[in-house]
């Protein structure tokens, strides 16, 4: 199931995620520990290009990584054919991409 192409995409998406996960954890701790209100958070995220690039690339990397990974795991565990496992993985990746993009759009551009 895993050829060189899938292997490289999974490693690349993981490499992209490493600093983003650390940044995400730092932002979460800062937002909670600092006692920021929803209004204060939205005030900082809305219209922020940096925030959009940070979480936009995070969503892209997560969608690719999780989609590929779950496709591979389902092929091995449930003995699915590579084609069906790939379709399943792509479906998961697409759902994550749509949900993540929607959340980013809502927090960056949508009016409160």
- Residue numbers at the binding site for other proteins (CB under 8 A): 1-8, 11, 75-77, 82
CB of 53 to other proteins, least distance (A): 25
- Characterize 5-22 residue by residue with b for buried, 16 or more Cβ atoms within 10 angstroms of its Cβ, and e for exposed: ebeeebeebeebbeebee
Nearer to other proteins, 40 or 76 (CB): 76
Q: Which is nearer to other proteins, 72 or 107 (CB)?
A: 72
Query: Minimum distance between the CB of residue 30 and other proteins, rounded to whole angstroms?
Result: 36
Pick 55 or 65: Cβ nearer other proteins: 65
Shortest distance (Å) from residue 47 CB to other proteins: 37
Q: How far is CA 107 from CA 15, 26, 62, in A?
A: 25, 18, 18
Residues 55, 104 contacting (CB under 8 angstroms): yes
- The number of helices, as runs of H, and strands, as runs of E, in the chain is 4, 0
The nearer residue to other proteins, 59 or 85, going by C-beta atoms, is 85
Q: Count the neighbouring beta carbons within 10 Å of the beta carbon of residue 72.
A: 19
Please report how close the Cβ of residue 7 comes to other proteins at its closest, in angstroms: 4
């Amino acid at each position: 199931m895993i050829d060189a192409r899938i292997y490289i995409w999974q490693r690349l998406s993981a490499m992209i995620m490493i600093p983003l996960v650390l940044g995400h954890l730092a932002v979460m701790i800062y937002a909670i520990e600092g006692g920021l209100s929803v209004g204060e958070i939205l005030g900082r995220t809305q219209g922020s290009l940096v925030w959009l690039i940070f979480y936009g690339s995070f969503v892209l990397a997560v969608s690719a990584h999780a989609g590929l990974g779950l496709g591979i795991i389902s092929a091995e565990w449930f003995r699915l054919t590579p084609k069906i496992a790939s379709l399943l993985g792509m479906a998961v990746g697409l759902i994550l991409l749509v949900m993540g993009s929607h959340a980013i759009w809502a927090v960056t551009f949508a009016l409160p």
